[in-house]
Amino acid sequence: MTAAGCASTQTTEGTGEYVDDSVITTKVKALLFDDPSLRSGEINVETFKGVVQLSGFVNSQADINKAVEITRGVSGVTSVKNAMRLK
């Protein structure tokens, strides 16, 4: 049996990287949710190869700074991209 069209490319993640990124995303979401000053329901978290992107809407620049600070403290995070906006 041959499988045609199943070649992997360099732009895809390996299984280990996907698991690591999922763990990072879960940890970041949990920490943001646990912080009483943040409304984490409005902050989206995506991770690719250790780079975390935060997006969504927050009430203040202080909330943005706090979310970025929390995210940077998570093990495995290599950098944080902020795409959050003020309401």
The structure's pTM equals: 0.78
| pLDDT bracket for residue 87 (50, 70, 90) | confident
pLDDT tens-digit series, residues 17-66: 766 999 999 999 999 999 998 866 799 999 999 999 999 999 999 999 99
Topology given in CATH for the domain delimited by 15-86: Histidine-containing Protein; Chain: A; (3.30.1340)
Q: Crossing angle of helices 61-72/15-34, nearest 10°?
A: 140
For residue 37, the model assigns a pLDDT of: 86
DSSP 37: T
The Cα 17–Cα 64 span in angstroms is 27
Name, in order, each residue with C-beta under 8 angstroms of 56's C-beta and a sequence gap of 6 or more: 42, 43, 44, 84, 85
The pLDDT value recorded for residue 5 is 47
